[in-house]
Structure 1
Amino acid sequence: MSPTPPVDLAHHAVDDEEVDPLLIGRRIRQLRTERGMTLEDLATAVDRVPSQLSMIENGRREAKLSLLRAIARALGSGLEALWESEPLDERATLEIGLERAMRGQTFQALGIAPFRIGKTVPTDALKAMLALQSEIDRLRDERAATPEEARRANVALRRLMRTQNNYFPDLEQHARDLLARVDHPGGPLTQRTASDIAAHLGFSLHYVPDLPQTTRSVADLKNGRLYLSRTLTAKGDPRTAVLQALSSRVLGHVEPSSYAEFLRQRVETNYLTGALLIPEEHAVAALQEAKSRRAISIEDLRDAYSVSYETAAHRFCNLATRHLDIPVHFLKVHESGTITKSYENDDVNFPTDRLGSSEGQLCCRRWTSRVVFDVPDKFNPYYQYTDTGNGTYWCTARVEASSEGAHSVSVGVRFDDTKWFIGRDTANRGVSKHSVEVCCRRAPAELEGAWRDNAWPGVRTPRTLLATLPTGSFPGVDTTDVYEFLEAHAPS
């Protein structure tokens, strides 16, 4: 039997990914300790200073092959003992794990500078630090949701909304209690009442020109100050921004630990804001009276409470099934044709991906939400009946401008429930077989035949297509900007 050839460490260092100066250093330390040698003893044996060997043992310096051979001889072992020896003891394994963690992104992101792991550091402390680092990594991975994970969370939330007919009694009760505390008489909520709610919750309002770009508001919980953009007083609805900012405090939200929790908190915040702007008791009475006259109108709800059409549409969907016994659907569609929000409990078939999410899908070109963009009359609401593979639906829709382009907002019902609405006499009709046929998902055969081989579009690729969603407890928010802003504006 031929002798075992010597281990070529230089070859392994190039070809084997397991070569790690930190691992070799800990093996040297373990062998030295087992033989009862001090660092000074080993340094003398190999004619080096102790500090140099200390750096090798700590993995901070990579030793040359000649020095490793000398160390192995001094320890009375072969070179292979430094390379393929038995597993390290528990302490050495923990130290290596913590050393690697300190060089990783988690410690750097937390601003924790690497430190020396001395003999006096308890083994239990090493275990605790590694456990904390592992949990932080898990949370970072959970929060860095991929678009697929975000869609799954959104689908789960939409299913919950459908189960409850988009009506949440606890949130309605929160709104009633809060309005009672500020002696709101009912009806539309004034801007002064919104300020009274802020004061009741211990906040003063401050409109500033330098609100961090990634935020809509910033609450200083320590000093009871709520900062909003000064542009709100010139455009938009100041009440909505104030109430959305305060709703999280009313609901006792804590820092979200996942994208699903963040999404749920956002839905709850928007729901409570709508319930404050359009109080349930007052609005339900008005809607029931309108139903008795067969004259329900989203526009009338919007005008009665001085809110946006989208807010009125959302609020109608909260109350319609619970109080009017009318199943409904809601769509918000970008001018590009992409669905950005959806809800239904009337069995309408929206286009969905394999996860069941309609957000991000293209809305059928023949559906009311797309047709309304081409209607020249932007003053009056647009109504349309649409025959689908799942029955006939009637929708009312409007186009609203936003910072991200124009969006259509539409509310619809089954054909049998159209009798309760203004606009039921419209002559506008469409046919959408999107849910059961190719419909508009492919170009007409004549056009495709003429242009398929002669067209090459330059795609405007969404910037998030290959990226994960923004990370952090509050996705996309630059916390440094927020903290610097609060520091600059905090009362002296």
Structure 2
Amino acid sequence: MTFGQRLRHLRRARELTLTDLGRRVGRAPSQLSLLENGKREPKLSLLTSLAKALEVSVDELLSRQPPSRRAQLEIALEEAQRDPVYRSLDLPHLKVGKRVPNDVLEHLVGLYGELKRRHVKPTATPEEARRANAELRRAMRERGNYFPEVEREAQRTLDAVGYRGGALSQGMILSIVTNTGFTLRYVQDLPRSVRSVTDMRNRRIYLKRESLGMHTPRTILLQTLGHFILGHGNPRDFADFLRQRVEANYFAAAVLIPERTAAPYLQEAKRERDLSVEDLRDVYSVSYEMAAHRFTNLASTHLDLVCHFVRNDETGIIYKAYENDGLVFPTDSSGAIEGQRMCRYWSGRQVFASPDRYSIYYQYTDKPNGTHWCVAHVDPSRERNFAITLGVPYQESRWFRGRETTNRNKSQCPTGECCLRPPAELAERWEGMAWPSARAHSHVLAALPPGTFPGVDETDVYAFLDRYATD
């Protein structure tokens, strides 16, 4: 199609008819018409003759770039009409002539794009979602969880408002909002299915003054801005939705804990053999979870360290995980980590049994493929407690505070049965005599909610924006 459009464009630009061009290259006009309409591909010998007759190079003739916006629209409409989604409308084929205005083509192509978007909603079954998540984790592991392009955007954002160092003040964050062309409104009736709502028409961001774990209002605000600063569009599918969330979360962390100041701070702590997540948390006034996760962003690139990160609940269910240090997580058949239960002897579960579960907990764990040193901390929340673990291989523990701990456990997981089955003596007493009533996890059985942004109730969001649109 593109070749045909270029051929027609070049021929008309030289005021040649099909007959004129056919005479120059020794071909019938009907043959050239088939080329221009994308119904036949030219042979190399004919390409050379056409390029010579039109006084252009073969490369220019074969360029994949449409010669004009008009040509681009005609190609897009022709390809749309071949799409089964378009054909399902059972409309007659529309042949675009010279008299069809460009704005009509713009409308038709735009309507097809919306039809396609609504037909292919970015929903996913639980299996598809887990596969997408596993693929994303693999990509993060390969790059050491370091995103230089997001780091650059975060630094540009900070430079634009004159950031010099230390914890980011509320005034500085509001300057970032203003500099990005938005205004901020705090409300109490934000729809329950969202963390924030952005009114693109009036350039307003709506937030609620509440913390959701590591997601404080300023974190949510920066995550929201991250989508726009990083140029995100509507997610194409669930994998794209996940990727955008990871990048927006990374952006927020990179603004709150800037690479330019945090990397030298951590390098000095390593030289002093006094690396600690809690110090990073305190210096930048962020949650423990954000500090631990940010450590994973900077560890490989700036500290020459490999590590792992886990967020799990009290029952050991993993909600978030990352590793590039060889730790073998439990996985399902798709390779997904999230939703699996970690070994009861790992520090992320042992911290809940420590005398003071809200203090920092250190532990060495001997595993089938080596020993890891870990620091775990319970981040209390309104609904449930989560443990945050940062760990490194044994030989790297010498750089960290807490390396002198005497806490030690042995685990055969994930391939062993050290905690998957009850101890033999306990099982002998109770096997067959217990009938637990399990909590229902209905989300495991259902497909992910439909829509461009899975789980968001669009009716609530639109009604919310309507209420505030005239304020």
8 Å CA contact retained: 1:101, 1:133: no
Q: CA deviation at 1:387?
A: 0.2
Q: CA deviation at 1:101?
A: 7.2
Confirm or deny that 1:301 pairs with 2:300. Answer: no
8 Å CA contact retained: 2:145, 2:296: yes
Which secondary structure does the structure 1 equivalent of 2:422 belong to? Answer: coil
Unaligned stretches of 5+ in structure 1? 1-96, 103-116
| Equivalent of residue 190 in structure 1, options 169, 183, 192 | 169
Task: Report the counterpart of residue 311 of structure 1 in structure 2.
Answer: 290
Confirm or deny that 1:406 pairs with 2:412. Answer: no
Deviations 1:371-424 (A, max 9, x none): 001112144310000000010000001011235411100000000000000000
The RMSD of aligned alpha carbons is: 2.6
Task: Report the counterpart of residue 57 of structure 1 in structure 2.
Answer: none
Confirm or deny that 1:474 pairs with 2:458. Answer: no
Summarize the alignment of residues 259-338 of structure 1 with structure 2, pairs less than 5 Å apart.
259-338=238-317
Partner amino acid for 1:485? F
Q: CA deviation at 1:230?
A: 3.2
Task: Report the counterpart of residue 444 of structure 2 in structure 1.
Answer: 465
Summarize the alignment of residues 115-264 of structure 1 with structure 2, pairs less than 5 Å apart.
122=92, 124=94, 135=116, 139-140=120-121, 143-231=122-210, 237-264=216-243
Q: Within 2, Cα distance between the matches of 1:306 and 1:409?
A: 17
Q: Which structure is larger by alpha-carbon Rg, 1 or 2?
A: 1
8 Å CA contact retained: 1:209, 1:231: no
Q: Within 2, Cα distance between the matches of 1:488 and 1:128?
A: 33
Q: CA deviation at 1:302?
A: 0.2
Structure 1 residues 451 and 404: CA distance shift in structure 2, 3 A: same
Which secondary structure does the structure 2 equivalent of 1:363 belong to? Answer: coil
Q: Within 2, Cα distance between the matches of 1:427 and 1:232?
A: 35
Deviations 1:428-482 (A, max 9, x none): 0011110331121111112222212111111112121211011111111011111
Q: Within 2, Cα distance between the matches of 1:175 and 1:131?
A: 36
Task: Report the counterpart of residue 26 of structure 2 in structure 1.
Answer: none
Deviations 1:97-153 (A, max 9, x none): 99x979xxxxxxxxxxxxxx9xxx74559x99998898457513xx22011101111
Q: Within 2, Cα distance between the matches of 1:151 and 1:379?
A: 31
Deviations 1:213-238 (A, max 9, x none): 101001111111110013359x9733
Q: Within 1, Cα distance between the matches of 2:113 and 2:229?
A: 31
Which secondary structure does the structure 1 equivalent of 2:201 belong to? Answer: coil
Q: CA deviation at 1:354?
A: 1.4
Summarize the alignment of residues 287-436 of structure 1 with structure 2, pairs less than 5 Å apart.
287-436=266-415
- Name the stretch that deviates more: 433-442 or 308-317: 433-442
8 Å CA contact retained: 2:358, 2:379: no
Structure 1 residues 204 and 129: CA distance shift in structure 2, 3 A: closer
Q: Within 2, Cα distance between the matches of 1:197 and 1:464?
A: 37
Q: Within 1, Cα distance between the matches of 2:118 and 2:176?
A: 39
Q: Within 2, Cα distance between the matches of 1:251 and 1:135?
A: 24
Q: Within 2, Cα distance between the matches of 1:354 and 1:207?
A: 43
Task: Report the counterpart of residue 79 of structure 1 in structure 2.
Answer: none
Which secondary structure does the structure 2 equivalent of 1:439 belong to? Answer: coil
Q: Within 2, Cα distance between the matches of 1:138 and 1:265?
A: 21
User: % of aligned pairs identical?
Assistant: 49
Q: Within 2, Cα distance between the matches of 1:239 and 1:367?
A: 32
8 Å CA contact retained: 1:331, 1:343: yes
Which secondary structure does the structure 1 equivalent of 2:443 belong to? Answer: coil
Which secondary structure does the structure 1 equivalent of 2:273 belong to? Answer: coil
Which secondary structure does the structure 2 equivalent of 1:330 belong to? Answer: strand
Q: Within 2, Cα distance between the matches of 1:188 and 1:160?
A: 30
Which secondary structure does the structure 2 equivalent of 1:213 belong to? Answer: coil
Structure 1 residues 289 and 364: CA distance shift in structure 2, 3 A: same
Which secondary structure does the structure 2 equivalent of 1:230 belong to? Answer: coil
How does the TM-score come out when normalised to structure 2?
A: 0.75
Structure 1 residues 134 and 283: CA distance shift in structure 2, 3 A: closer
Q: Within 1, Cα distance between the matches of 2:235 and 2:460?
A: 19
Deviations 1:35-71 (A, max 9, x none): xxxxxxxxxxxxxxxxxxxxxxxxxxxxxxxxxxxxx
Structure 1 residues 203 and 388: CA distance shift in structure 2, 3 A: same
How does the TM-score come out when normalised to structure 1?
A: 0.72
Which secondary structure does the structure 1 equivalent of 2:431 belong to? Answer: helix
8 Å CA contact retained: 2:210, 2:216: no
Confirm or deny that 1:445 pairs with 2:424. Answer: yes
Partner amino acid for 1:338? I
Unaligned stretches of 5+ in structure 2? 1-83, 96-107
Higher relative contact order (CA 8 A, sep 6+): 2
